[in-house]
Amino acid sequence: MLQRMIVVLWPSFLIAVVADVVFFALFDPSHLLRQEDAFVGSNLAAYTVGFFLFWLMGIGSSSLTCHFQRSPDEINRCPLTPDRRPPGCPKREGCTE
C-alpha cells in the first residue's frame, strides 16, 4: 500500500512543481484576480493554492493510471476464502455443506 502511494504521490508532486512554475511564469496572480474579488490575499497564497490544485490534478491522474493498469485477475479476484463463499458459488471448490 505504501509503495502504491509513493508511486502516485511522487510523480504528481513533480508534475505539480513543473506546472506551477510554468503557469505562474506565464500568468501573474495579481493580474488574474481582481483585488476586490480575490479569495487569496497575496501572490504567495495564490502560488500555494495553485500548487496544491496542480498536485490534486496530478494525484487524480496517477490514481486513475494505477487503477486502469490492474489485471483482470486482480479485479475479479474473490476476497472470500472458499469455505466462506455462499452456497451455489461456482468458485466454492471442494467445500461441502
pLDDT at 95 over 60: no
- Mean of the pLDDT values across residues 26-53? 78
pTM of this prediction? 0.69
Element (H, E) at 73: helix 72-76
Binning pLDDT at 50, 70 and 90, where does residue 96 land? Answer: low
Evaluate if residue 16 carries a pLDDT over 80. Answer: yes
Mutual orientation of helices 2-26 and 43-68 as an angle, nearest 10°?
Answer: 140
The answer to whether 54 and 64 are in contact (CB under 8 A) is no
Q: What is the pLDDT of residue 31?
A: 75
Q: Name the burial class of residue 46, with classes exposed (0-12), middle (13-18) and buried (19+) by CB atoms within 10 angstroms of its CB.
A: buried
Task: Give pLDDT, residue 23.
Answer: 94
Q: Which of 20, 7, 13 is nearest to 64 (CA)?
A: 7
Cα 93 to its chain centre, rounded Å, is 37
| Confidence at residue 76, expressed as pLDDT on a 0 to 100 scale | 78
Q: What is the pLDDT of residues 49-68, one digit of tens each?
A: 899 999 999 999 999 998 88
